[in-house]
Amino acid sequence: MRKILKTTICVFVLIVIFFFTKEASALTLSPIRFEISGNPGDTLQQEITLINETNKAETYSVSYSNFEAQGESGDPAFVAPKDGLGTWIRIESNSIAIPARQQKIIPFTINIPKDADPGGHFAVIFWGTSGGDTSSGVSIGAKTGVLVLLSVNGDVKENAGLLSFNTVGKQFWYSTLPVSFEYRFKNDGGDRIKPQGKIIIHNTVFFPTEYLNANMVEGNILPASTRKFKVDWINYERSKEYVAPTGFFAKFWSDVSYQWKNFAVGFYTARLNVAYGASGEHAKGTAFLFVFPWQLVLVMLVVFIVVFWGGKKVIKRYNKFIIDKNRLNGN
């Protein structure tokens, strides 16, 4: 039992990794997502391009799965297609041979039943070098998948809204950027929705200073689910190879440099404004935060004091020089 469970977990991890990667080491699919609509009874025609990235000929098998939302991260839960969109998709051949470093265009059809329920229907078309049978719900081998998001036209209920918007962990005080925002959106309607809009950052005097894309990943919220979106405000990002200095002064100056490149200081207001749904409804939220880069402020204060004090000394000496010179000329 433990061995079966371990194998199942490994297979799931492989599927997820290859599913969310546009380009796998062996196979590339294009496009990676279809967002289409049709009427009950329609037959839709689409095409997928398969690219064999290996140096040898490969035979790829096709399989289908429905999927639904899993948690709030946007990750899908795959379901064996006993009905629904996974059973409406048809490709002429269950396997296709592609020579090394070559590609082929594969047409497929979606036959929407006349009695199909209006709203969202979601499936994935998997391609892999393993067998195409997924009747057991598990197929051994790495797969690459294409999302199919179908909207069946009709009377579809729309019921969605913003649940929350704030900084991650409701943090208020920051010593520097990045600042991470998150918002949770719930969809109780009959079709997927995709929030589109901005998070606008206003500074202490209420002028807008930054405009952040509220849905950079173009993520959808499936029916009967809640999804969490994360948005980062950052101007400069350290490289992945960056190693923080261990010495006090080295770390201090590294932080000063980073705070300067990500300069932000004072009280900020973040306003979320996104549109969603066919009717273009809007959802809004507000968050507050304070950024105080104390290392940078300390250095700037010291520099100001030195310049101010030094400037006064220079002016004082210059005035004394002029006065002494005038006295000498007067004599």
Q: Is residue 230 part of a domain?
A: yes
Return the pLDDT at 24. Answer: 42
Torsion of CA 72, 232, 268, 302, to 10 degrees: 140
Q: Is residue 310 part of a domain?
A: no
Q: Is residue 44 part of a domain?
A: yes
Q: Kindly state whether residues 14 and 141 are assigned to the same domain.
A: yes
Question: Could you give the angle at which helices 294-330 and 248-261 cross, rounded to 10 degrees?
Answer: 90
CATH code (residue 205) = 2.60.40.3880
Rounded CA-CA distance 129/142 in Å is: 7
Rounded CA-CA distance 49/45 in Å is: 14
Q: Kindly state whether residues 17 and 131 are assigned to the same domain.
A: yes
157 within 8 A of 123, measured Cβ to Cβ: no
Q: Kindly state whether residues 181 and 256 are assigned to the same domain.
A: yes
State the residue for tokens 């250095």: 299
Q: Is residue 325 part of a domain?
A: no
CATH code (residue 67) = 2.60.40.10
Q: Kindly state whether residues 58 and 19 are assigned to the same domain.
A: yes
What residue type is assigned to position 159 of the chain? N
74 within 8 A of 52, measured Cβ to Cβ: no
Rounded CA-CA distance 328/307 in Å is: 31
Q: Kindly state whether residues 167 and 287 are assigned to the same domain.
A: yes
Q: Is residue 86 part of a domain?
A: yes
According to DSSP, the β-strands at 33-38 and 143-152 are parallel
What residue type is assigned to position 160 of the chain? A
Ordered mean pLDDT values, 10 residues apiece, the chain (331 residues) = 39 40 66 96 97 93 93 90 96 94 97 96 91 42 88 94 97 97 97 96 96 96 96 94 92 95 97 94 97 96 88 75 70 56
Question: What's the distance, CA 178 to chain centroid?
Answer: 16
26 within 8 A of 129, measured Cβ to Cβ: yes
Q: Which residues, 6 or more positions from 57, have their beta carbon under 8 angstroms from its beta carbon?
A: 97, 98, 99, 100
Rounded CA-CA distance 115/41 in Å is: 8
Return the pLDDT at 167. Answer: 98
Q: Kindly state whether residues 145 and 202 are assigned to the same domain.
A: no
Q: Is the peptide bond before 40 cis (omega within 30 degrees of 0)?
A: no
Return the pLDDT at 309. Answer: 84
Q: Kindly state whether residues 143 and 11 are assigned to the same domain.
A: yes
Q: Is residue 100 part of a domain?
A: yes
261 within 8 A of 255, measured Cβ to Cβ: no
* DSSP assigned state of 221: B
Rounded CA-CA distance 302/166 in Å is: 35
Q: Kindly state whether residues 40 and 96 are assigned to the same domain.
A: yes
Q: Is residue 314 part of a domain?
A: no
The pair of structure tokens assigned to 232 is 């980062």
State the residue for tokens 């997820």: 16
Helix (H, G, I), strand (E, B) or coil at 295: helix
Print the domain residue range for 116.
2-152
Return the pLDDT at 324. Answer: 67
Q: Kindly state whether residues 135 and 59 are assigned to the same domain.
A: yes
Rounded CA-CA distance 58/49 in Å is: 15
Boundary-marking domain end, from 152, 172, 202: 152
Q: Is residue 312 part of a domain?
A: no
Q: Kindly state whether residues 165 and 112 are assigned to the same domain.
A: no
Q: Which residues, 6 or more positions from 280, have their beta carbon under 8 angstroms from its beta carbon?
A: none
Q: Which residues, 6 or more positions from 26, have their beta carbon under 8 angstroms from its beta carbon?
A: 52, 53, 54, 58, 129, 142
Please indicate, yes or no, whether the overall pTM of this predicted structure exceeds 0.85.
Answer: no
Q: Kindly state whether residues 183 and 97 are assigned to the same domain.
A: no
Rounded CA-CA distance 128/146 in Å is: 12
Q: Kindly state whether residues 172 and 135 are assigned to the same domain.
A: no
Rounded CA-CA distance 125/14 in Å is: 16
What residue type is assigned to position 243 of the chain? V
